[in-house]
Structure 1
Amino acid sequence: MSTLNLTNLLAGQVTSYGVYDDNYNIETLKKINFITAANGLFRVEKTPTAIFKTLVEEYKKPIPGLNLMSEGPELLVPKIPFRFLQMALSFYLDVYDKDKTEASLLFFWNKDNVRLPEIYSDNTPVKGLISEGQLVVYVPRQKNSAGLSEFHMDPMVDWLRNNLSLFAETHSHHSMSAFFSSTDDANENATQFYGVWGKIKNQQPEFAFRYCSGDSKTKICPSVLFEWPEVTTTKTYEVTSDVPGFQRQQFTEVEKEVYKGPFEKLEYPADWMEQHTKAVVANKFKSTYPVNTTYPSRYLSNRDGSLEKMEQLDMEYYGDYYDQALLDPFAWETQETEMNITGFEDAEIIQFIDKNDEKNKQDIQDNLIDITSEYTALGYKSVIESAIDGAKQSASL
C-alpha cells in the first residue's frame, strides 16, 4: 500500500489543482493542471514551448470571484518565422514533382541549448538538420508514398524527441485537400502542434493546423504558431437619405485574415531531398488474374499457388486522388521490392524499446488509473500523510 501511496505522491509532483483568479501564475504550473475558472473546469498542460488549455466541463452559472478562461494555446517561445514554412512548402512541391508523394518536416525547440549531433555512430553525417537560435528544423529520413509519410525508422527523430522539446510536425497531402486523416488522428497524439498542406500546386494552397493535448485535438489559426502574414481589407460605407435634415454618414469596416497565397518558392538545404525516398510496392510475382482498371483489384501469387487479394485504396482517406502508378496495370511489372532494412536504422542514437518495455509502459498506464482514483477519493493531504507513514514503516523494517 505504501508503494502506491508513494506513487500518488510522485504523481502530485507533475499534477496540480488551482483556481483562475488574480493570483494565477503560469510560472507555478506543473506539467498537468486542473484549473477552476469562472466559466468551467480546464485541463491546462504546460510544455517548454506552450501552455495548452482545454475545457473539461462548462459551468452553467459563473463562479463569482474567478476570471473567465478561454480554450487554446499560449506560446512560451517566439513564433516560428514564416520563411521556414515557405521552405517546407517548397520542399513538398519538389518531392511531389519528382515522385508524386507526401513528405514531412519537423520543428523542435532546443530549450537547454544542447549540442546537436553531427554524425551517426557509423560516421555518416547527419543531414536535413538546421537551427536558428533555439529553433531546430529537421527533415527526417522518410519513406513516402501517395498517402503516407513514414519516418519512424530514423533514430535522429527519437534523439531529438528525447533531448529537445516537441514543437510542431508538418506534412503534405500534395494534390489532396488539407485535412487530418484517420491515419493522422491515430499517429498524432503527442502534446504539440501539427500541420498539413494540401493542393500545393494551386496558387492558394490549402492548410490546416491543430494542437493535441490529452485526448483533445483542437484546430487553430496558423498565425498562433507562425509569423504568418495578414491581409487587411478596408471597406467604406456611405449612408444617405432623402429625409429632410438627414446628414450623410460614413462607416469604415476593417477585416483581417491570414494570407492564403500565392507563396514565393524559397531555396532550402540541398540535403533535404536526400532525406526523401519513395516507397515502392513489393511485387515479386506477376499476377495473371483479370484486372478491373477502373477500380483495380490486385492479386499476389503465393508460392503454394494460391491467390491473395490486395486491398483496394481507402476511398475515405485518399479522397479524389489516385496514384497513377497504382492505376496502371503494367506498372506492377517494373516496380521493385521494398527493402525495409537500411543502414541508417542501425545507427546508435538511442536504445529502442523492446517488448518488455512496452508491457511495462502498459503497467504504468494501468497504475496511473489507480493513482487517479485514489488521489480523487483521499485528497492531496491524505495522500501525503499516508505516503510519509508508509515510508516510516518501511524504514523501520
Structure 2
Amino acid sequence: MRRRWGAVHTALAALAVWSLPAAVGSPPASAAATLTTAPFVRQAPGVTYTTFQVAVERGTAHGHLLTVDLRAPRVSVDLLYPGAVGARAPVSALAAARGATAAVNGDFFHFIETQHPGVPATGAPSGPAVAAGLGLKAAVPAGQRFGPAPPPGASPEDVLGIGYDRRARLDRLTLHGAAVSGHGTLPLSGLNQYALPVDGIGAYTPRWGPAARARAVCGTDTDRAAPCATRVREVAVAHGRVAAVADRPGAGVPPGTEVLLGREEGARRLAALRPGDPVRIGHRLTGRDGAPLRCAVGGFAVLRDGRTVPGTDPGTPAVRTGAGIGDGGRTLYLLALDGTPGEPGLTLAELATLLRGLGARDGVDLDGGGSSTLVTRAPHGGQVVVRNHPSGGAERPVPNALGVFTGG
C-alpha cells in the first residue's frame, strides 16, 4: 500500500514555503534551493510525518520526513535488522515484525559481488551496528566500504547513535577484542564483517547468520577488487575450546559457537590452535567518550555543528536517505527522497543544506538509490505503509533500518 505524492499534496493543501539557507561552507548553488513542506501529521505523540519538495537547479526533488522528539516519554529509536547480520529484508517487513511506528533504511551494504567470481554477496552492512545495546558488528576497512566517497577525515567506524540518555549523536565505534589461549593473545580486527583487514583475525558469532564468509578474505584495506588471500585459517570455538579447524572459510555459526577467521599473518597465528585447546574470546564496540550506545547505524557525516563537512561532494545527485540531529540531540530528522523517473535527486552537499534547513545541527548520509525507503504505520495499529517511491519501483531488501517506536 502506497500513497502517491499527488494524493498527499492534495489532501494537505496548505503549504509552508521558505528559502533554504545554505549551510556554511556549502557551494553557492545550494543557497538558491527552496524548501516547501506540507503540514505535519502526527503519527503518535512525539512523532510527525510530512512530505516536502526542494527546488534545485536541476528540478524539484520530492521527499518524505519524519520528525522524532526523543524527549517524548514513550518514544524510542532502535536498529531494525532481520535477525542476522548477513541477511536482508524490506524496511516495511522489518518495521512490521518489530511493531515500529515508522522507519527508514540504514547503512550501505555488500549488495553485489562482481570482482570475485564464485564468491557470494553477504548482504551485510558496511559500518558498525548496535541494536538494543548489543554490538552486532564492526566496520569493514575503508577500501572495502560500499557507497559514495565520504568526505576527507571520515571513517568506516562513523555512526549515528542513540545513547541511553535518549540523545542522538554522531560517534565513532571502535572494536576492542581478543582471543586468548595457551599460545598467547590474538587481537581481533573484525566482528561479523563481510571484509577483514589484511593480516587480521575476525570473530563471527551466531548473529552473523547462515551467510558464507568467503568474501571476508578477499580484497585489501584499500582495494575492494584485489584478489582473495591464499593463506586462510578458520577455527571454531565451542564452550571455550577449539571444536574444529579448516583452511577455508565456512558458512553459518552454530549456537554456542564463535568462529575465528584469519587471513595472511592472522591465519599463520591461528594455525597454532588445535582441537581441544582452551580459548577465551571477548569483544566490544566503544565510542569516543566510552558511553554505551543503545542503537547505532553506520553513516558518514555531511553536516557537523551546522556546517557542511569540508569535502562533501557538491556534484553527484542521487536519491538519498538522510538523518539529522537537532536540539542538542533531542530531535531526530529522518528523510527519504522519491525515486520516480525524472526526479533530480540531491547532491551530498545539498542533503547537508536540507538537513540544516529542517533544524539539524548534525547530519549523516545513509544508503540511497534503490534502498531509499521511508515507512509509517497507518493509524490505529494499521498496516505499515511505504510513503516514498523507491527508484526500483518496489522496496529493495536491506540489512538494517532505523525504527521509531511509540509503545509503553
TM over 0.5: no
Q: Which structure's CA Rg is the greater one?
A: 1
Determine which structure has the larger strand proportion and give its number.
Answer: 2
Greater relative contact order (Cα < 8 A, sep 6+):
2
- More helix as a share of residues: 1
